[in-house]
Structure 1
Amino acid sequence: MPQIVVGDAALTELKARARAELVNDILPFWTEHAFDDAGWLRGAVLDDLTIDNSRPRHSVIAARTLWTFAVAARDLAERRDELTAVGQASLNLLLGDFWDESEGGVYWALNPDRSVAADRKQVYAQAFAIYGLAQWYELTGAERAREAAWELFTLLEGHARDRSRGGYLEALSRTWGPLENTALSDKDMSVPKSMNTNLHVLEAYTTLLRVTGDPRVREALHELLAVSLEHILVLTPFAHCELFFDADWNSQVDTVSYGHDIEASWLLWDAWEALAAAGIDDGKLEERTRSAALLLADAVRAHGLDDDGAVMYEGTPQGVVNDQKHWWPQAEGVVGWLNAFQIAGRAEDRAAALGAWDFIEDKVIDREHGEWFAELERDGSVRVGAQGDVKIGPWKCPYHNARACLEVMRRIA
């Protein structure tokens, strides 16, 4: 981790604000609303707390909730018992109904009656399962979690890793063979590789390396970081991450995702720090990663940041094309710019991190019903009736906003 910030009154206050939001809002909301009395994930919880159990349940939500409550239980020792109970409910689902006992890995989605709705092996989902299971193992020492995380790592290395061209494939069939439609969601392209999936494999392997110290994870992460800097990051006309690729890393669109870019800025650096702690001595890669983190933070600040401190949704190299303000880019903005400030000490990064949190408190947090609104218009008004208009759902989870709070807490003394 970059140098912990000390002696900064505004950032010390930010730490207190983030902790209060985590402890008094995000974690209690998920503790109360995520699961029914039988321990089954709710299909969706709308902004007004209406429950819609007709929707499928996704393994990614179980994995992200597992990760969130494992880290929260670690860092909030006084609440460990209650937080661990929510993590255990998530673990039970991930290694229970979501786990493919015959072919290995986690299913993409289940129906409301717990039957399989989508049996494909989306690599994105396997990565988040590794992420959550490794963190749970660190917290509890549960051997089943470690074994499952290692099984998933082995499956990805054996079936999803492109050993000739680098990176990881987007999705495979239930039996780990080719799949015609690999798209992660209705918004995404069906392509062999994507930035989003590879970023979250990198994130998962970073945690798995820290927890296990295994040289096989170190080798895989080392290569993936280098591949990401070589093929996903581009520097013209400004630093950003290409999003969708063919098998040879030829970009398929010119879309710029400001939220993914600021998230990548700190996850790339986090991966490097895990590698360095594990004994990798690669000065060139270190400098390339440091430069990438700062250039991405610069670019999002210059091209994707609105005057009110919020991160807008999407653009192209020519400018913003979608000025909506979704919940998760704001959370990633806080961490990304705080990370850049820790690396280089630039006042503009500190200001951007503080500004992003001000916007979150002013517009994103739902003071009436709890948690965060998913999607806002550019003026900060809530997008009512939008597809993602939920507090809990397939893509609305405690991972981005809880993680932002936890990262702020650990980075500021």
Structure 2
Amino acid sequence: MSAQSFTGTFTTYWLDQPEHHLWLREQTHQLIAFGKAARLPDGGFGWLDEQGRLDNACRPQTLVTARMTHVYALAALQGIPGAAALVDHGLKALTTLFHDDEAGGWFSEVQEPGASDTKEAYLHAFVGLAAASATQAGRPGAHELLNDACHIIDTHFWSDDEGAMRENSDRFWTEGEAYRGANSNMHSVEAFLAIADALNAPAWRHRALSIAERLIHDNARQAGYHVIEHFDDAWQPLRDYNQDKPGDPFRPYGVTPGHGLEWSRLLINLEAALLKNEGTAPDWLARDAAALFDAALAGWSADGAPGMVYTLDWAQQPVVHERMHWVMAEGVCTAAALLARTGHAVYEHWYRTFWDYIDLYLIDRHHGSWHHELDRYNQPSTTVWSGKPDIYHALQATLFPRLPQAPTAAQWLKRHPETLR
């Protein structure tokens, strides 16, 4: 079913019902409690397995640490005991354990034999997000970390000429890959909105708009609002990229419907941020957001079973049938955002549909958190992801529908702590 084909009505919306808010709060608290087991005694946060135990086979990663620092900053802003100490624990690791003191920036993992020393835009966006949220939470050292992250992004990743982010570099910033990615730029939009709020710096919001215009209004619009994920360094689409590795966790082949949902929500956030802070926003942001949502629905039950497949080919046929938890998390956030923006009942339909799916298949009531991956029959799977690495996507799904589209969550919770009572 496409968004346009829905003709139903509702007498009430879930987000108008106190019991739904109570259910969301309960899910938030359960996820926050689950994630505490990821704290590593030597610094940062580790990878949790399916049962919520630390997976010692996984080297400590900056990505997991940054995401967990961000979500515990949101928890601290809600007044949840123990959260502030976990934010400080994450900040310390980002400042020391994962930081490259010689060349600047952040390694993707603890530097041990065999570890990569490539500097990734995707990763640095999450460091910026974590630092911005921790700054809003008033944690010691967060503002300094945020300034450092902004300096590295400014100096080594942001391209004024391209109006977007370069993908990566070697350790000493001398050579980068001849590749540009939509995924790293998408999460840069997320980070830049948070940075703009934390530093009261509108330039970061303008950068987010520049990225969205290139990736979505220019490229995705020409592809029927199916997000083109891969480009060369001249921004020419690479539609066959990773055709031999279709299930790559960060650079899969073809169309990733979940990213269409995520971009859709970010465009609504961006529009709201621009309107709130500058009084004007391009009218294409809301139109493109709705079109992205509709195009992403091509992945829903694409193989005949409930759920959103991970990837499609360019003829909209399933390639990787696995269902990722983050896709449904983004689905509920996006449906809620579009419902708030438009009032159209179709988005209430999808908000309910996505939560019903999450409740039935993804929430793990035995071991906690959500299954991060299901197979085409909606059974737990480990084809692309193993274990339950972090609570970032799931936590935001339980929180964002209860908040306005702007400012970003950390700033809203800082200014309006009574919101979630």
* TM-score of Structure 1 vs Structure 2, range by shorter chain: 0.7 to 0.9
Among 173, 190, 198, the residue aligned to 2:170: 173
Match of 1:372 in 2: 370
2:333 to 324, 335, 345: 335
Q: State yes or no: 1:242 paired with 2:228.
A: yes
One-letter code of the match for 1:68?
V
What is the SS of the residue equivalent to 2:115? strand
Q: Is the 8 A contact 2:44 2:94 kept in 1?
A: no
Aligned partners of 1:172, 1:403: CA distance in 2, in Å? 30
- Per the alignment, do residues 281 and 260 of structure 1 end up closer, same or farther by CA in structure 2, a change over 3 Å counting? same
Distance in 2 between the 1:274 and 1:209 partners? 10
Q: Secondary structure at the match of 2:403?
A: helix
1:402 aligns with 2:398: no
Partner of 1:318: 315
Contact 1:15–1:408 (CA under 8 A) maintained in structure 2: no
In structure 1, what is the Cα distance between the partners aligned to 2:320 and 2:222? Answer: 22
SS in 1 for 2:359: helix
What CA distance in whole angstroms lies between the structure 2 residues aligned with 1:204 and 1:378?
32
Q: CA deviation at 1:325?
A: 1.0
Counterpart CA distance in 1 for 2:60 and 2:402 is 31
The superposition leaves residues 315-361 of structure 1 with CA deviations (integer Å, 9 ceiling, x where unpaired) of 12312222221111010000111111111122121111111111111
Q: For the residues of structure 1 that align with 2:207 and 2:279, how far apart are their CA atoms?
A: 12
SS in 1 for 2:341: helix
Q: Is the 8 A contact 2:87 2:139 kept in 1?
A: no
For the 8 Å contact 1:309–1:356, the answer to whether it is kept is no
Q: Secondary structure at the match of 2:74?
A: helix
Whole-angstrom CA distance in 1 between matches of 2:205 and 2:339: 27
Does structure 2 retain, via aligned residues, the 8 Å contact 1:258–1:311? yes
SS at match of 2:159: coil
Question: 2:108–2:118: 8 Å Cα contact kept in structure 1?
Answer: yes
CA distance in 1, matches of 2:41, 2:62: 19
TM-score, normalised relative to structure 1: 0.85
Alignment correspondent of 2:416: none
Q: Secondary structure at the match of 2:67?
A: helix
Distance 1:270 1:232 in 2: 20
Which residue does 1:155 correspond to in 2? 152
Q: The residue matched to 2:133 in structure 1 has which SS?
A: helix
1: CA distance between counterparts of 2:306 and 2:187? 26
Distance 1:116 1:280, change over 3 A: farther
Structure 2 residue matching 1:223: 3-state secondary structure: helix
Counterpart mapping for 1:78-227 below 5 A: 79=80, 81-110=81-110, 117-140=115-138, 142=140, 144-179=141-176, 182=177, 191-227=178-214
Q: Establish whether residue 295 from structure 1 lines up as the match of residue 291 from structure 2.
A: yes
Choose which of 22, 28, 34 in structure 1 pairs with 2:38.
Answer: 34
For 1:344 and 1:225, the matched residues in 2 are separated by 20
Classify 1:139/1:174 alpha carbon distance in 2 versus 1 (closer, same or farther; 3 Å): same
Q: Unaligned 5+ residue runs, structure 1?
A: 1-6, 183-190
Question: Counterpart amino acid of 2:181?
Answer: S
Equivalent residue of 2:388, what SS?
strand
Report Cα offsets for 1:10-64 as digits up to 9, x if no partner: 33343322221111x2111111x1023444533x332134543132221111111
Aligned residue identity for 1:59: T
Contact persistence 1:309–1:355 (CA under 8 A) = no
- The residue aligned with 1:10 is 14
2:319 match: secondary structure: strand
Please name the residue that 2:277 is paired with.
278
Separation in structure 1 between the aligned mates of residue 211 and residue 274 of structure 2, nearest angstrom:
11
What amino acid is aligned across from residue 39 of structure 2 in structure 1? F
Contact kept in structure 2, 1:127 and 1:201, CA below 8 Å: yes
Q: 1:215 to 1:386 in 2, by over 3 A?
A: closer
Mapped to 1, the partners of 2:203 and 2:341 lie a distance apart of 28
Q: Quick one: structure 1 residues 216 and 50, their matched pair in 2 at CA, closer, same or farther if it must change by over 3 Å?
A: closer
**1:219: Cα distance to partner?**
3.8
Q: Secondary structure at the match of 1:107?
A: coil
From the superposition, tell whether residues 39 and 167 of structure 1 become closer, same or farther in structure 2 (CA, over 3 Å): closer
1:141-200: CA deviation from partner (whole Å, max 9, x where unpaired): 53x322222222222222222222321111011122213xx5xxxxxxxx5211000011
Structure 1 residues 194 and 387, CA, compared in 2 at 3 Å: closer, same or farther?
closer
Do 2:216 and 2:227's aligned partners in 1 also have CA atoms closer than 8 Å? Answer: no
Please tell me whether the aligned partners of residues 14 and 354 of structure 1 are also in contact (alpha carbons under 8 angstroms). Answer: no
Amino acid at match of 1:250: Q
